[in-house]
Amino acid sequence: MEEILRVEGLCKTFTLSKKQQKIERTKSKQKVAVDNLTFTANRGEIFGLLGPNGAGKTTTLRMLATLIKPDKGDAWVDGCSIVAQPEKVRAKIGFLTSELKLEDFFTPNYLFDFFSNLHQVDPSVMAERKKSMFERFGIDKFAEVKVKDLSTGMKQKVSLVISLVHNPDIIIFDEPTNGLDVLTARTVTDYLQELRAEGKTIILSTHIFSLVEKLCDRVGIIINGKLTHCDTLQAICDGLSLEDRFFEIYKENEDLTI
Amino acid sequence: MKINNTLTIIKKEFTRFFSDRSMVFTTVIMPGLLIYIIYSLMGDNMSESNFTVEATEPTTVYVENLPPSILPLFDSIPMNIVTHDIVSEDIMKQLGDKENNIAYMIFPENFDSLVANYVPASETLAPNIKIFYNSVNDGSSMTYHMLDGALNAYEDSYCNRFDVNRYDDADSPSFDQSDESEVISNVLSQLIPMLLLMLLFSGCMAVGPASIAGEKERGTIATLLVTPMKRSQLALGKIISLSVFATLSGLSSFIGIILSLPKMFHADELNMDTNLYSASEYILLLLVLLSTVLVLISVISNLSAIAKDVKQASTINIPVSLMMIVVGMMPMIMGGATENPTLYLIPFYNSVMAMTAVMAHEATVLTLVLTICSNLVYAGLGAWILTKLFDSEKVMFGK
């Protein structure tokens, strides 16, 4: 399979404020969020980063999306370095997280055009893509309704569509079903499978076992910033359920101190 | 591609701004309208309190030792004179109450002979007339001033040997040979730059923090940061569009001031010419204003980018507003624009001085070029810093 993402020795350390030190219950002023992460993802596969809260999944994805810079290491998205060519990387990826919000003053129609322009999408392609995406997610009836007047589920669908205006080859989703109602969550997971069928690569982070079992071709298990396992589900689980195997791995690595 | 993305951001900011009627009203229309209404009302109020006499009951003036020779002087003063049964203590007590429209005048006994025998060159004190009044009571205060004026005129006439600047007839030329418009220009040149700077600052504050710190607070700026657009394009797009809104706000205030000035100075009553400036001077003023807005908006944008939310951005910008007041007062303190060219390199100070010079018809090419060019350099520097801030994960995503 063709490799489309290569991550090599990615490291990220944050400096903690006194308030954060209290929350983290630590006296250390530094927190290693990601420690020497190395993995690859192939074209047309769904790669899942599985780990508990605070394991470093979101930090990893934010580095891949070039929102934050790694302290050490690099990653190449379709041959472009996240350190040296951040604009090129951003042109190749679609990034969606609950942190990213849409300006609620605008309509889905306006936002689609606006983000398409920022991604330099050809106007004729943009119109066609908007039509099909809006129909696919039922946004067409709300295309001229301001985001602030949309339901939460519809807002999330609009966010998903906006993140994919440029039809990227790599889609990075941080907790894709987090906070979604069951109907929207189903729509999203179905769409991710459709995207895989189209040959897109999806990197997602989650702590939901069923989601990994349903979607992911390969999984990286991340605990305390370190990637402990990275393989296909079958290879990792070795006959056990993912949940049981994860807790085994977690116990094995409980003493992982950073 | 570079221009495209900057234009896309500008277009979005314009759509956001001009589609929001309440924002357009509060930022562009309301400042000018409010200034026009407030200044016009101030003018009317000043007119009523300074130039017209409210019809009140005539003041009762108690007079002790009133010399008959003086009586004709008071014919034109609307007052009731009481010369009998005066109890000094009672009157002084009544004067302490602001509700009593009274005054109390005491002439020295034998006033006429004292005045006739007084030798100005001698070391003895001249006969003294005492007038007690209550300045808080309009009638009492007004009567005092009229009595004072009449008596001083009488005193002048007593030993009048020559006149100074007497107008013999209506056609006499004015003794003050200064151009009337120059006098007004001089007043305006010291007053308007401060007002303009404050109004521009208000305009920038109305749009800057909401557009930068507001987007950060709402999480919408992160959505922009994951697009392929360069941070510099985002910074430039924000600064240009915000400058336009702030300029519109400043222009609205400026128009409000210009339209209300004739009312404030009662130009129609005084036959004052309000066309003080030429078109080229207005253009120069506009260029200085535009360059100032660019610097101001880049400062406010940078401070707003550092802030976590709009509230914090407003707080961080308070020192800038205080600085604007101090800098704006410089022409009044210094009595006009400085002639030292190097001082025209100091941001904000240069703008105030350049505006003062233009409005006093004293602007030079060198100082204007220095002001506008240095402001463009500072605005460019501001855009560069904003780019760096947009690129900083600590600033954009720090908690």
What's the pLDDT at B3? 53
Residue of B267 and A14 predicted with greater confidence: A14
A14 touches chain B (CB under 8 A): no
Residues of B in contact with A103 (CB under 8 A): 16, 215, 218, 220
Residue of A255 and B252 predicted with greater confidence: B252
CB B23 within 8 A of CB B17: yes
The ipTM, to two decimals, is 0.88
Between A30-34, A37-41, B302-306, the lowest mean confidence (pLDDT) is in A30-34
What's the pLDDT at A127? 93
A212–chain B nearest CA distance, Å = 25
**Tens-digit pLDDT profile for chain B (399 aa)?**
445 899 999 999 999 999 888 889 988 888 888 888 887 887 777 655 554 445 568 899 999 988 888 888 888 888 999 988 888 888 888 888 888 899 999 988 988 888 888 887 777 888 888 999 988 888 888 899 998 888 888 887 776 555 556 666 666 666 655 566 666 677 777 778 888 888 888 888 888 898 999 998 888 988 999 999 999 999 999 999 998 998 888 888 878 877 887 777 666 665 656 667 788 888 898 899 889 999 999 999 999 999 989 999 999 999 999 999 999 999 888 888 888 999 999 999 999 999 999 888 888 999 999 999 999 999 999 999 999 999 888 888 876
Count Cα neighbours of A166 within 13 Å in the Cβ-side half-sphere: 24
What's the pLDDT at A258? 44
A16 touches chain B (CB under 8 A): no
Cα nearest neighbour of A98 on chain B: B219
A74–chain B nearest CA distance, Å = 17
Contact A105 B227 (CB under 8 A): no
Contact B8 A120 (CB under 8 A): no
A99, A118, A163: residue with CB nearest B229: A118
Contact A118 B5 (CB under 8 A): yes
Residue of A179 and A39 predicted with greater confidence: A39
Domain ranges of chain B: 2-47+180-397, 59-158
What's the pLDDT at B291? 92
May I ask the CATH class of domain A3-92+168-252? alpha beta
Contacts of B189 (CB under 8 A, 6+ apart): B331, B336, B337, B355, B356, B357, B358, B359, B360
B29–chain A nearest CA distance, Å = 21
What's the pLDDT at B189? 79
What's the pLDDT at A107? 95
3-state secondary structure A108-174: HHHHHHHHHHHCCCCHHHHHHHHHHHHHHHCCHHHCCCCHHHCCHHHHHHHHHHHHCCCCCCEEEEE
Q: Of B223, B391, B396, which to mutate for an interface test with A (greatest number of A Cβ within 10 Å)?
A: B223
Cα nearest neighbour of B218 on chain A: A101
Contact B222 A118 (CB under 8 A): no
Contact A101 B219 (CB under 8 A): yes
Residues of B in contact with A64 (CB under 8 A): none
Residues of B in contact with A123 (CB under 8 A): none
Contact A87 B229 (CB under 8 A): yes
Domain ranges of chain A: 3-92+168-252
CB B227 within 8 A of CB B322: no
Query: Could you tell me the pLDDT band of residue A257, with boundaries at 50, 70 and 90?
Result: very low
Between A35-49, A145-159, B107-121, the lowest mean confidence (pLDDT) is in B107-121
Q: Of B3, B13, B226, B229, which to mutate for an interface test with A (greatest number of A Cβ within 10 Å)?
A: B226
A174–chain B nearest CA distance, Å = 14
May I ask the CATH class of domain B59-158? alpha beta
Cα nearest neighbour of A118 on chain B: B5
Measured between alpha carbons, how far is B27 from B21 in angstroms, rounded to an integer? 10
Q: How far is CA B332 from CA A84, B83, B152, B194, B327, in A?
A: 54, 50, 34, 9, 10
Task: Show which residues on chain B lie within 8 Å of chain A, measured between beta carbons.
Answer: 1, 4-5, 8, 12, 15-16, 19-20, 215, 218-220, 222-230, 393, 396-397, 399
Q: Which of B272, B226, B347 is nearest to A77 (CA)?
A: B226
Query: Could you tell me the pLDDT band of residue A9, with boundaries at 50, 70 and 90?
Result: very high
What's the pLDDT at B165? 61
3-state secondary structure B307-336: CCCHHHHHHHCHHHHHHHHHHHHHHHHHCC
Contact A90 B226 (CB under 8 A): yes
What's the pLDDT at B169? 66
Whole-model pTM: value is 0.75
Give me the phi and psi of A69, to 5 degrees please. Answer: -100, 140
Residues of B in contact with A168 (CB under 8 A): none
Residues of A in contact with B20 (CB under 8 A): 105
A161 touches chain B (CB under 8 A): no
A137 touches chain B (CB under 8 A): no
Size of interface A-B (CB pairs under 8 A): 67
Cα nearest neighbour of A63 on chain B: B393
Length of chain A: 258
Contact A117 B227 (CB under 8 A): no
Residues of A in contact with B15 (CB under 8 A): 106, 110
What's the pLDDT at B271? 61
Give me the phi and psi of A172, to 5 degrees please. Answer: -110, 120
Measured between alpha carbons, how far is A204 from B158 in angstroms, rounded to an integer? 104
A207 touches chain B (CB under 8 A): no
Query: Could you tell me the pLDDT band of residue A193, with boundaries at 50, 70 and 90?
Result: very high
Cα nearest neighbour of A92 on chain B: B228
A88 touches chain B (CB under 8 A): yes
What's the pLDDT at B48? 58
pLDDT tens track for B295-350? 999 999 999 999 989 999 999 999 999 999 999 999 888 888 888 999 999 999 99
Strands A30-42 and A80-81: unpaired
A17, A95, A106: residue with CB nearest B226: A95
pLDDT tens track for A74-100? 999 999 999 999 999 999 999 998 778
Contact B230 A102 (CB under 8 A): no
B11–chain A nearest CA distance, Å = 9
Strand partners, A230: A220
What's the pLDDT at B196? 84
What's the pLDDT at B38? 82
What's the pLDDT at A111? 95
Computed over every residue of chain A, the mean pLDDT equals 90
Measured between alpha carbons, how far is B190 from B389 in angstroms, rounded to an integer? 37
- Containing A204, the helix (H) or strand (E) segment is strand A201-206
Residue A46 carries which side chain, given as an amino acid letter?
A: I
What's the pLDDT at B206? 86
Contact B218 A162 (CB under 8 A): no
A121–chain B nearest CA distance, Å = 11
